[in-house]
Amino acid sequence: MPNAKIIPIHGEEPIVPRLVDDLEPDVFARLREFWEFVQSRLAGDYSVDDLGFDPEFNDKVLMALVRPLYKSWFRVEASGLENIPDAAGALVVANHSGVIALDAVMTQVALLDEHPVHRHLRMLGSDLVFQSPFLGEIARKAGHTLACHPDAERLLSDGEIVGVWPEGYKGIGKPFAERYKLQRFGRGGFVAAALRTKTPIIPTAIVGAEETYPMIANATVVARLLGLPYFPITPTFPLLGPLGLLPLPSKWFIHFGEPIPTDQYPDNAADDPMLVFNLTDQVREQIQQTLYRLLLQRSSVFG
Amino acid sequence: MGRVVLVTGVARYLGGQLARILSQDPAVDQVLGVDVVPPKVNLPGMQFVRADIRNTVVHMGVIATPRQAGGRATMKEINVIGTMQLLAACQRTPSVKALVVKSTASVYGSGPKAPALFTEEMQPRHAPRSGWAKDSVEVEGYVRGFARRRPDVAVTTLRFANFIGPGIDTAMTTYFSLPVIPTVLGFDARLQFIHEDDGLEFVKRAVLGSYPGTFNVSGNDILMLSQAIRRTGHKRVALPEFLFTPFGRNISRAGLIDFTTEQVAFASFLARREVSVA
């Protein structure tokens, strides 16, 4: 076929080298970026805030580790992000479940990845977290602090998004049969903190976390021996050993609800226990109603 | 009449530097220095200069390093009994118009139940139970008592973060100059520092001006222990907590560093320290 077009094998623009050229700047830039990151970390050349929050380490390492869990394992669907302010402080109050508080971590990912201005969630944890080796260290680096008035109010008045799980261990350590039934909401300390700093409360409902580790029993003797608030027995743990630590891949929904404003109350409102109780109940009720609504909407646990 | 300042603890680094700085200042007529000299002699506390011309007393004499002081018993004697005697003398001296006391942010203690940041009016959740920090708590208690009994005296208490700098020698600087720095596995402390010159400047201003009250004195921002070690370029070895104390005790017994048992608890404190000041 003399008329056939000749395609040169070694033409003027070889395909393979061009691909490398296209890739080169990007790949090398990224490698260089990564190397510079490692170097600056090793030299201690980064800054942490007063509470020990290391935003660089959190965003580039910790969040990168849990993001696959958020995206692929639980396939979290977050909604109501418009209720979270862009710059001001707010108090996110959510239901707690699932034995190891993965719900808190997923809420953190939701706010960082899906909020338009990528907000960091600063959680308030129990003292048990901060006395545990590794856990306490990582929690501090991820920006969390002890649930106490001074720290909570400092963060809120600095315009941070603060996360609190008022059910505490009663929530994460509750049996599977009681899933999505909110436990008592502590002593309402979080409401007092919001009132004092006049920041809105965002009642937040998390669906899916309660099925990750269905706790069928609590080995109280083991818990007491280990000094833990509970020791979970699930269908897979401790039966299957480490494999039992794998959470079930339930489908998750996180809804950040309508904010409850606190700035219309007088300055000393936090000292009125009745008001604090009423607001606590209002927050709890709003979360419970949202939970029921989300549960009705989901097609199945593993959706 | 100008200002006559009495400085305690002048045989030690900070006290000595302060006395030097103050004596060069035109606003100060005379500086009287007091210390237990030589420091290793077990004297029952401070010596006092009977001179009622002094009107400002600076108490820099609270010691943090027992090896330099000649043992923990001597250190406690100097810190607590010395302060009591100094305050007793001040109370009897009508010309004393100002008292400046060097204290430490360690009075806030440290532990998992403590807030991340302490302001001056906050009460400790884990009060220090030993060593220099406990001495400082007691010293502050006596100073408060003195302030109640002599309301005419302007009392300034300065709670300093960890001193650091080229001249000063503390357990903290010793710790950071170890070639291999031990830390507690699974914990990373938040640390605050103040440069020795900045600290002295603060004391000087408190002496020359009038700032009654209690103040936290620290550099801005914090460093994580791991980060601070990386910046020194030294190696870090993380030991489990149960190994940390015996390890520290042995190197201190070998005389390598100025750590007593409670200073090892210090390193463990240091490595788990959760206190910073705002």
pLDDT for the residue B249: 63
* Radius of gyration of chain A from its Cα atoms, rounded to whole angstroms: 24
Report how far residue A84's alpha carbon sits from residue A154's, in angstroms, rounded to the nearest whole number: 19
For chain A, percent of residues with pLDDT exceeding 70 = 92
Q: How far is A65 from A59, CA to CA, in rounded Å?
A: 10
Q: Which residues of A touch B (CB under 8 A)?
A: 41-52, 54, 127-137, 140-141, 145-146, 148-151, 154
Tell me if A225 sits within 8 A of A180, measured CB to CB. Answer: no
Dihedral of the CA atoms B89, B91, B92, B98 (nearest 10)?
Answer: 90
CA–CA separation, A56 and B163 (whole Å): 28
Higher pLDDT, B18 or A82: A82
Supply the pLDDT for residue B28. 86
Query: Is residue A252 within 8 Å of residue A209, measured between CB atoms?
Result: yes
pLDDT band at B278 (very low <50, low <70, confident <90, very high): very low
Answer yes or no: are the C-beta atoms of A38 and B225 closer than 8 Å: no
| A47, closest residue in chain B (CA to CA) | B223
- Please tell me which residue, B246 or B148, carries the higher pLDDT value: B148
Contacting residues of A for B192, CB less than 8 Å apart: none
More confident site: A2 or B109:
B109
Residue B110 has pLDDT above 90, yes or no: no
pLDDT at B244: 74
**Inter-residue contact B98 to B207 (CB < 8 Å):** yes
Provide the shortest C-alpha distance from residue B188 to chain A (in Å).
Answer: 6
pLDDT at A6: 57
Q: What is the mean pLDDT of chain B?
A: 79
B253: pLDDT confidence band, cut at 50, 70 and 90?
low
CB contact under 8 A, B113 and A146: yes
pLDDT, mean of residues B58-74 = 78
Question: Which positions in chain B touch A136 (Cβ < 8 Å)?
Answer: 112, 186-187
Other C-beta atoms closer than 10 Å to the C-beta of B65 total 19
**Angstroms from B160 CA to nearest CA on chain A:** 16
For each of the domains in chain B, give its residue range(s) and CATH number, in order of start: 3-277 (3.40.50.720)
A108 Cβ contact list (under 8 Å, min separation 6)? A63, A120, A121, A123, A142, A163
What are the phi and psi torsion angles at A107 (to 5°)? -65, -35
DSSP string, B29-91: EEEEEE--SSTTS--SS------TT--EEEE------HHHHTSHHHHHIIIIIHHHHHHHHHH
Domain range annotation of chain A:
12-45, 55-212+247-297
Residues A163 and A143: beta-carbon distance below 8 Å: no
Tell me the angle at which helices B13-24 and B196-208 cross, rounded to the nearest 10 degrees: 50
Structure confidence at residue A244 (pLDDT)? 81
- What is the mean predicted confidence (pLDDT) over B189-205? 88
pLDDT for A293: 95
Best to test chain A binding among B120, B185, B222 (most A CBs inside 10 Å): B222
Alpha-carbon gap, residue B105 to B214, rounded angstroms: 11
Is residue A123 classed as helix, strand or coil in its secondary structure? strand
Which residues fall within 8 angstroms of residue B12, CB to CB, at 6 or more apart? B35, B39, B60, B61, B63, B68
Half-sphere exposure of A127 (CA within 13 A, CB side): 11
Which of B211, B172, B207, B177 shows the shortest CA–CA distance to B192? B172
Mean pLDDT check: name the lowest of A107-111, B48-52, B271-275.
Answer: B271-275
- According to the model, what pLDDT value does residue B131 have? 77
Taking the CA of residue B201 and the nearest CA in chain A, the distance in Å comes to 24
Give the pLDDT of residue B154.
Answer: 94
Taking each helix axis from N to C end, the angle separating B241-253 and B261-272, rounded to the nearest 10 degrees, works out to 140
Cis peptide before A238 (omega within 30 of 0): yes
Confidence of residue B114 (pLDDT cuts 50, 70, 90): confident
Mean pLDDT over B115-121 rounds to 83
Look at A50 and B116 and tell me if their CB atoms are within 8 Å.
yes
How would DSSP label each residue in B203-262? HHHHHHS---EEEEE--SSBEEHHHHHHHHT-EEEEE-HHHHHHHHHHHHHTTSSS--HH
What CA–CA distance (Å, rounded) separates A90 from A147? 15
Closest Cβ opposite residue A47 in set B118, B122, B221: B221
> Residue A9: enclosing H or E segment and its boundaries?
none
The answer to whether A194 touches A262, Cβ cutoff 8 Å, is yes
Q: What pLDDT does residue A193 have?
A: 96
Whether residue A137 and residue B112 make contact (CB cut-off 8 A), yes or no, is no
- pLDDT category, B76, cuts 50, 70, 90? confident
CB B250 within 8 A of CB B168: no
A199 token code pair: 């920041």
pLDDT in tens, B200-230: 998 998 888 888 999 888 887 788 888 999 9
Quick one: closest CA in B to A148, which residue? B115
Averaged over B239-268, what is the pLDDT? 57
> Distance between CA atoms of A251 and B37, rounded to whole angstroms?
74
**Do the Cβ atoms of B181 and B229 come closer than 8 Å?**
yes
Q: What is the ipTM of this complex?
A: 0.80
E strands, chain A, are 77-79, 90-94, 121-125, 145-146, 161-164, 201-207, 217-218, 232-233, 253-256
Mean pLDDT of B68-88: 84
Is the distance from CB of A290 to CB of A257 less than 8 angstroms? yes
Residue at token pair 């750590």:
B259
| C-beta atoms of B187 and A46 within 8 A | no
* CB pairs A-B closer than 8 Å: 83
User: What are the pLDDT tens digits along chain A (303 aa)?
Assistant: 556 565 555 545 544 445 555 556 678 888 888 899 999 999 989 999 888 899 999 999 999 999 999 999 999 999 999 999 999 999 999 999 888 889 999 999 999 999 999 999 999 999 889 888 899 899 999 999 999 999 999 999 999 999 999 998 888 888 888 889 999 888 889 999 999 999 999 999 999 998 998 888 888 898 888 888 888 888 888 888 888 888 999 999 999 999 999 999 999 999 999 999 999 999 999 999 999 999 998 888 887
CB contact under 8 A, A50 and B276: yes
CA B58 to chain centre: 13
Which residue type occupies B201?
E
User: How high is the pLDDT of residue B274?
Assistant: 40
Q: Percentage of chain B surpassing pLDDT 70?
A: 79
Given its phi and psi angles, is residue B59 left (phi above 0), alpha (psi -120 to 50 degrees) or beta? beta
A143: phi > 0 → left, psi -120 to 50 → alpha, else beta; which?
left
Report the alpha-carbon distance of residue B260 to residue B253 in Å, rounded.
8
Can you tell me the mean pLDDT for B268-276? 41
Find the CB nearest B113 among A43, A45, A127. A127
Residue B52 CB coordination number (10 Å) = 12
Q: Is A53 exposed, middle or buried (0-12, 13-18, 19+ CB in 10 A)?
A: buried
* Residue range A42-59, pLDDT digits in tens: 998 999 988 889 999 999
What's the rounded Cα separation, in Å, for the pair B76 and B260?
13
What's the CA gap between A127 and B112, in Å, rounded? 5
Within 8 A of A128 by CB-CB distance, chain B residues are: 112
